Structure formats: structure tokens, C-alpha cells
Amino acid sequence: MKFRDGMWLQASSKRVEYAEEIYSLTQQDSNKISLLCPTAQIHSRGDTLNRSTLTVDLEAVTDGILSVEVTHWHGAGDQGPHFDLFPDGRPPVDASIEKSDAGTTLTAGGIAATVTALPHTFDIRFHSTDGRHKLTSLLNRSVGLAYSPATSSPMQTADMRDFKHYILTQTTLGVGEQVYGLGERFGALNKVGQSINLWNVDGGTSSDQAYKNVSFWLSSKGYGVFIDAPERVELEIGSERCCRVQTSVEGQRLKWYIIYGPTPKEVLSRYTMLTGKPNKVPAWSFGLWLSTSFTTEYDEKTVNGFLEGMRERDIPVQVFHYDCFWMRGFHWCDFEFMSSHFADPKGQIARLKESGLITKVSVWVNSYLGQASSVFKEAAEKGYLLKRKNGNIFQWDLWQAGMGIVDFTNPEACTWFVDCLKKLFDTGVDAIKTDFGERIPTQDVRWHDTNVDAAKMHNYYSFIYNKLVFEALQHRYGKDEAVLFARSACAGTQRFPVHWGGDCESTFEAMAESLRGGLSLGLSGFSFWSVDIGGFEGYPNSTIYKRWVQFGLLCSHSRLHGSNSYRVPWLIDDDDKSEQGCSAVLQKFTQLKCRLMPYLYSQAMESIKQGWPVSVRAMGLEFPDDRTAWSCDQQFMLGSSILVVPVFDETGEVDFYLPRGTWTSIWDDSTIKGPQWVKEKHGFDTLPLYVREGTILIMGKPGAIRTVYDWTLPGEHEVRLYEPRADSRFSLYDAEGKLAAVLEAEEDRGVWNVKGMEARVRRLSKDQNY
């Protein structure tokens, strides 16, 4: 939201009052100071009258984190929900407050804020405690309150029913500073110049709307900002004032945290300490998921035929997913397999697992109940559905006819919903796709918990929805065996993986949009991410399908899914049996992922400890001082050591960037020295896949067809050394997520070996092929 008309004028529809000076500073605790900031300079006693003030509270939260809270009227209520912060416990803080002639400095470990001592001045500077790094500032006209429509007299605020009230802050943007994150956003990766509205919407991947709005952004200068506001947050990132990031919310207070790294990885680690680390997910979930697709016609025979066809083509499927129409139309979600198509779902699932065609089963659900279903009647009678203010159940015909929304602020509704899920678990279901959760109304609604703010519930609903289902899976299968396929999210929802990229078209452009969304989500603290391989909407031709297979199988999680057409490979290209056919490409990259599991799963264990993305990981995280790396949004890192470049062109031509160092192709061991831009052309059996110098890469033995096996055993793995150095090191985890060995490279008379476990080391040479 823009509050000004250029630099000089206020927007005609708004009145804005800015903090003009720091009138007084009060030390409240050893780690907190409070600033009283009038909206005019105070030169005489009379200037204190008929004047609004803003209170700015600065608190040292923990090492590297300060909070900033701006309040206008303190008497305003602060209804929930509130983000669940420090879920693993709040670490202690080494705080200090020092005063000098220049001002007052509050420190929290490595970060500090200095409040000016200059009279009639508003000036707060954020910097590293040692003074070496200037981060950002709150300067003149940077903290304010606003009314819309514009008021002409304070008397008008006696009745606020016709006015909206906002709090806004503007932090400075440095020259060349870039901004990333804010959830799964499909536009330009660098958000400078964009207006962003943090409001969950089911808008597909081709707009500025997003399913996953996360109120956290990461600066290329080594700090991040988490906005502690579940409600709608509007940002102008260099788009109202080119040199500032403006944050505004409707209400009487705005709180955010500034988090210092200094590296972007350290910022993410601290941010996810604040909002929660991703949970560990089981190794089986990294395998290929095959879906029925959305509106397709299918039954038990169809499912069996698809899985048998995949086995005939040596394409290992780990998870089979039943999408919406495992239930009857108009009856979503009644949690019942429709008997006309699935006479014996429990028996069928058991037989599929016993046959070895799959290991696990997933089903689609959501928290919307169509009124034709029996569960709607039950939930309505028991008061489990969201209501209108007049006491009626909130219903509309959006998505399902007469649909109601489960009210998860009602503990009894939560218990009931989990009981519905338990029936699915008893049938043999192992994972849940939690679709939707974005279309949560805010007008004319009454929640069971009358203490919650409807506007805050809109985004936050995705957190409580996914948390409930995830914890139900944990209770049934174990803490580290729970897996979701979730679409909606807000800050903190990274704790309940996995998330996928929503509804994309079957085009190269949509494939690139999806990648940008995954990169942005990874820069928002989410470790695991997937995408609809082949695109959701439309009919992918064989070229797009195969290029999407390459991309999708090198994400942390991989699912074949579509809307009104199947995604099994032989239906895409009339069962082309050549090495360049869809089946051969899917087979190769599925098996490649199985071979990469020792590396991939070990990287996942490190990533969830730190809050980093496994894949897709933005280049800037690994190469933070390389300005070109930050601009690369058509390639990504798989973990810390493997560079992946999807192909977005029918010709197979691709341009990509290699940062400084020697990079080795995983296919033929050819090397290229960076930094430089490279142009290559690839058939469908390869794409640019390069290993970073200094890497110890552990791969499974050739022929691995599952993602769960004991790759720590002799003969079950292969160790590759890529331009090893004395500091080359790799922590290897087993398929249970336990640290098995710490491998280090050592040189003995010009020959490099690996110590740390019994290993067969492959010595790379130019004439060896993958």
C-alpha cells in the first residue's frame, strides 16, 4: 500500500503522521528500551498538546536478533492468533545497553541498534556490534501512523467505524541491496521494485498472488526481517521510496525482528530458530510419487495398470497418490473411498504394498466439507464448522456446493477431524495431501474461539490445519515418519513438510515460474519442496514432460501429477521405447535420484538442523559474495555441492553460470573453471549437472531402485572425490537419519583418499563415463 504521492505529497485518500523526534528514552529492562516519539518536533510545552505519539520498543531477543515494535494507541486489543515463536525454547541473550554522547546502543550478541542523541531528530541505526557492518536504518519519515480516508480533525477519530488505521515502517535500502524470500513467489527472484501483499490466495503460479505467504525477507547485506503479523502485511520494496522497504499493517501496532547473519545461511538458521525448524521426513518420501491426477477417471484397475506399467519399464514408484476423485463428487471431504470404483480399498492397498509395486500410499483431503456429504451434517450438528455472525454456518458454493469450513479453533472439531484421518490410516494410508486452506473468509465470520481476529486467521489457518494433520501422522507412525503434501503456508509452517508449488501450466514458462517459487520459499526457511512434474494445467508434450522430469527428480521431493490428463510416460509419447523417450528419461532420473540418496539424505539432515533449503537452493546461499550468483533464477544447488540447471528450451540449449572454482560434470567428468557463463546443448538423457570442487560425493551403487537402503555398508556405495582439498569433509547419515560417519579427504604422496569409513574411492579421470 502506498501512502504518498511521490516524495512531496501524501496520497489524497490518506493522512499520515510520522515520528519526528525521539522525545524520551526509557530503559525498561537490561535488554529493552522504549522510545516516546511525537509526530512533530517539540520545541515548547505547548507542542505536546493535541499531538499523536508513537512508541518504539527495542528489545534484545537473543544472539543476533533484535525486535522493533511500533504502537500508536496502547489500549487497543491484541487478539490472536499469534505466531508460535521459539517452539524449541528461547536461548538466553547476551544483552547490553550503553550510553554515550552519540546516543544509546542496545546490543544482542552480534547485532546492535543505536538510537541518536541528537535533539529533534528521529534516527535509529542497525549494525553489527563490532561496527564493521551497517545493516539498515529508520530515519526521517520512516515510522508512522495513517488514516484512510484522510481525517481533517482528531475529533473524527471518536468514531473509528468508518476509518482504517495503519502502522507503517520504512527501513533503508542500500545501494545495490537486494531482497529475497516472502514465501513462494513466482515473479522476479529479487523483490526490489515490487509491491507485495502477504495474503494467501489460490491464484496459480502465473501472478503476483501466492499460496504460501511468509512474512520474512532476506537481504543480500547479511540480515533478514521477520514481520510478526499473521494478518495481511503489505510491502513496498523500493516501490514507494526507491531507497526503502515499507511495511504496513492495519491496526495499532506493528512488530518485526531484525536478524543478523552475517551470512545468509546464518540468517536463515536464526530465523528458523525463531519460527521453528523443519521436521525430519523419512527417506521413502524422497522417491517417486505417482498421482492419479485431478479430474481423471480412475478405479482400482487403472491404478494397478499404471503401477504395473511403471514396473515393466523399470521405473521405481515409492508412493502412489489418490487425488480428489477417490471420493464421490459433491461429497468432498467425506473421507470415504467410493465403493463404485474401489470395492475393497484396504485390501487393494495391502495388495499393492505386498506386490512391491509401491511402498506407501497418499490420499488427498482438505478441510472444506460439501453439504451433500454425511460428514457435513455431523460437523454442522456438533458445531464444528465456521459460522457467520448471525449464527448460521458459513457456506458458499466456491469449490464444493454449499461447502462449510472446519473450525480448527474448536478443540472438539480438531479431535473429530483427526478421528476421520485415523480411519484412513486404518485403511493403509501413510501420507496426506493437505490441499487448499487459502480461501478463509474474514468478513461476516465468527470463530469458535471468540478471542481470535478474523483477519489474522486468514493466513494462520494454514498453520493450524497442517499442524493438526502432521501431528496426527506423527502420533500414528512416529515422530519422523510423518509426511504431508501441503499447498498453503505462512511463517512457521515449514515445521510440517512437505510443500509443493501449486497449480502451474504445462509450459516452459510455468516451469520457470515454479522454480522461482521454490527458490523464494527456500529463502523463507522451508527445507523441502516439490512441484507437479509435467505441469498441472494442460497437456504437456513430450519435450516439456521430459525436461520437467529432469527438473522434478532433482527436487527434494518428486511427484507426477496433473489436472485432466494422466502423467504416466507411455501416454505422453505413444510409448516411445528409445533412449530419448519419456519412459527412458523417467527411468534414468528416478534411478539417479535413488543413487544420490546417500548425499541427498545427508544434506537433508544438515539442512533441517539449520533451516536451509535442500533443493531447490538459491545460488546466493552458497556463494553470498558473488553478485552474479544472486541473480541466477534458472538454476539451483542441490545441497551444498551439486549444481542443477533445468533446460527451458525445446532446442536443448541452455546458458548457465558457474561461480569461482573448478566444476566437474557428473556425466563425463569434464571440468570447467569458473566464474564464467557457459552455453551447452543437451539431449533428454542429460542436463547440466556439475559438482563443486572440494566435494566428497557419496552415491549408492549402480542399480539402486529405492530411496531406502543401507548405503553405509561396504559395496552399497561409491565415494567420488572432486578436486579434493585438505578441508574436504562430508557428514554421512544413514537412511534412519543417524550420523554414520564423518568423511575427510587426506593426501598421501600425491594420492587422495577418504578416511572415516571403509570406502571404495572412485578416482575420476576424463575417460570414465557415468
Query: Which residues have a Cβ under 8 Å from the Cβ of 312 and sit 6 or more positions away?
Result: none
Instruction: Round to whole Å and give the CA distance between 29 and 462.
Output: 36
Instruction: Round to whole Å and give the CA distance between 143 and 171.
Output: 9
Packing angle, helices 300-312 and 345-355, rounded to 10: 10
Per the annotation, the verdict on 503 as an active-site residue is yes
Contact at 8 Å (CB) between 700 and 715? no
Q: Counting Cβ atoms within 10 Å, is residue 129 exposed (0-12), middle (13-18) or buried (19+)?
A: middle
Instruction: Round to whole Å and give the CA distance between 533 and 552.
Output: 6
Instruction: Round to whole Å and give the CA distance between 269 and 612.
Output: 7
Per the annotation, the verdict on 202 as an active-site residue is no
Contact at 8 Å (CB) between 424 and 366? no
| 493 Cα distance to chain centroid | 8
Contact at 8 Å (CB) between 425 and 471? no
Instruction: Round to whole Å and give the CA distance between 341 and 327.
Output: 9
Q: Active site residue: 438, 453, 573, 669, which one?
A: 438
**Buried b / exposed e across 540-557, counting CB within 10 Å, b at 16+?**
bebbbbbbbbbbbbbbbb
Q: Active site residue: 503, 532, 693, 718, which one?
A: 503
Instruction: Round to whole Å and give the CA distance between 606 and 610.
Output: 7
Sheet holding 532-533, edge to edge: 431-434, 360-365, 319-322, 288-291, 558-560, 532-533
Q: Rounded to 5 degrees, what are φ and ψ at 40? A: -155, 155
Sheet holding 253-260, edge to edge: 24-29, 32-38, 53-62, 65-71, 253-260, 223-227, 213-219, 179-183
**Buried b / exposed e across 214-241, counting CB within 10 Å, b at 16+?**
bbbbbbbbbbbbbbbbbbbbbbbbbbbb
C-alpha cell at 81: 492468533
Query: Which residues have a Cβ under 8 Å from the Cβ of 85 and sit 6 or more positions away?
Result: 228, 274, 275
Contact at 8 Å (CB) between 434 and 466? yes
Alpha carbon distance, N-terminus to C-terminus of the chain: 53
State the DSSP string of 360-416: EEEEEE-SEE-TTSHHHHHHHHTT-B-B-TTSSBP-B-SSSTTBEEB-TTSHHHHHH
C-alpha cell at 508: 516452459
Three state DSSP letters for 111-154:
EEEEEECCCCCCCEEEEECCCCCEEEEECCCCEEEEEECCCCCH
Q: Active site residue: 59, 266, 323, 435, which one?
A: 435
Per the annotation, the verdict on 453 as an active-site residue is no
The torsion angle over the Cα atoms of residues 700, 706, 709 and 715, rounded to 10 degrees, is: -30
Active site members: 435, 438, 503
